[in-house]
Amino acid sequence: MTSTTKGTKAKEDKRLYDGKQVVRVVTQYKKVDLYNIGVEMNDRKGTGNYDIERREFNYEYVSLTQNNLYQEVKANLKKRKIEYLDRPNTNLLNGVTFTSGPEFFQSLGMKFKDSGRTYHTGDKKGQAVMIPDIKSKEDIPNAVTYFFDSCMEFLKDYVDEENILLAQIYYDEDTPHLQAYFIPVVNKVKRKCFVKDKNGNVVKEETKNKKGINTITPKLLSDDKGKIVYEEVDFLNYDQFWKDRGGKISSAPNLQIKCMYETLYYCGLRRGEARGLQWKDVNWSDKRLSVTKQAVTHGSENSTYYELTKPKTQKSNRILPIAEILFRDLKQLYEEQKQFTEFNEEWFIFGNFIPITFYQMRHKNVEIARDANIKKIRLHDFRHSCASLLINNNANIAVVSQFLGHASIEETLDTYTHLFKDKLYDAVNTINKLTYPAPSI
């Protein structure tokens, strides 16, 4: 999953700096993600702290016209005759959040009260978590309404109003925020035309490819002069959408993805264990990581539905020291994610309020290996590589077994017998050095 965070620090208005305004954009919502978003937006179910009494003051700029968000996307694209690739991994939707810290909203006249909870980490560690004190519409200052109205007007102008499918202000969470979702439609894209039969089906023909092998391909439409005919269409393409706005979508690994593969390698975790890691599992003072659960997905590996279960074996519950190289990157990632207003210690390190999907883990692995022009390895091979690293650097077999969370030392020996064979020869060489007499001079 990809997100961008921008903190506005305007010198001319200190309220903006103190409030830590945040614009967060998520660009990679696929078909399978849309159902969870609908539950979060409409049913108010998720990892947030939802207040039922304040829910009635939530405000809708744009509401769903269909039963769920996925149907809304499909209906909008069909109505506007927008072309798109109907595949499971197509990025159908983008999301954006406009918000700020309590200080900013207080400066606009909104009252806050003590929630009874305290911050566990960060700049406000030990301080009370303050939440909006709203009992009637009059408790929402006009200045706050104007702030969100201005954000909405900016969004309509920036992404085109007709692309916005859902936009709502939420006052029922710890911090007021505007949440919106839109489809990244690129206007007027040129594409090649193909010959079609009377039923509208594309005609295919047999041609030779560059290697001289016969292949079946769609037949291109040509004009009287033999030139290929192009047509202009509206197309859904999040990559081009953001490039047109000066952005850059890159397949280079971001910090979160980098930390994920570092964790798989330096900690030897199973992929489900890595998915289940939350920020509360990190002990910053002792530089230790608690592995106490795994995130399990039922059904498609692209599904965002998950269940937190116990690790594979009893001994898989373990506390691991964090390598310095990984600790530095995790600390940087933590500081970045703390900027999100909805952040809390329950957030998944590799994800946000939900863990990264198995598909995203595997797909990113393939993508990075391809772009770096190196051989791809399986996700589980990171765990095997960790074992090799430990064994080849003379780690005790009991330590290796404990580090990997194996049920027994026998399991470790059975799995990595080929590595320990070399260690047997090392042991004999040691005996030889100690017992074989040195040649006389």
Q: What is the pLDDT of residues 364-416, one digit of tens each?
A: 888 888 877 888 889 889 999 998 888 888 888 888 899 999 988 888 888 88
Q: Phi/psi class of residue 188: alpha, beta or left (left: φ > 0; alpha: ψ in -120 to 50)? A: left
The whole-angstrom separation of Cα 241 and Cα 23 is 18
Lowest mean pLDDT among 20-29, 32-41, 257-266, 315-324: 32-41
Q: What is the pLDDT of residue 440?
A: 57
- Please check whether residues 324 and 407 belong to one and the same domain: yes
Instruction: Classify residue 243: in a domain, yes or no.
Output: no
Q: Which two tokens stand for residue 335?
A: 């500081």
Same domain for 272 and 202: no
Residue 62 has pLDDT above 60, yes or no: yes
Q: Both 314 and 255 in a single domain?
A: yes
Residue 238 located in a structural domain? no
CA distance 423 to 433: 15
Same domain, 311 and 220: no
User: From CA 58, how far away is CA 171, in angstroms rounded?
Assistant: 6
Residue 232: count of CB within 10 angstroms of its CB: 10
For the chain, how many structural domains are there in total? 3
Highest mean pLDDT among 129-133, 195-199, 252-256: 129-133
Number of other CB atoms surrounding residue 64 within 10 Å: 17
In a domain, 236, yes or no: no
Q: Clarify whether residues 144 and 162 are in a common domain.
A: yes
Q: Report helix, strand or coil for 78.
A: helix
> Same domain for 62 and 120?
yes
Question: In terms of residue numbers, what domain contains 318?
Answer: 250-441
My answer on whether 279 and 176 are in the same domain is: no
Q: Distances from the Cα of 410 to the Cαs of 38, 226, 330, 388, 392, in angstroms?
A: 48, 71, 33, 16, 18
Q: In angstroms, how far is the first alpha carbon of the chain from the final one?
A: 69
Cα–Cα distances in angstroms (integers) from residue 284 to residues 122, 287, 323, 331, in the given order: 12, 5, 12, 8
Cα–Cα dist 241/73, whole Å: 17
- For all residues of the chain together, what is the average pLDDT? 81
217 and 134, same domain (yes or no):
no
Pairing relationship of beta strands 288-291 and 214-218 according to DSSP bridges: unpaired
379, 324: one domain: yes
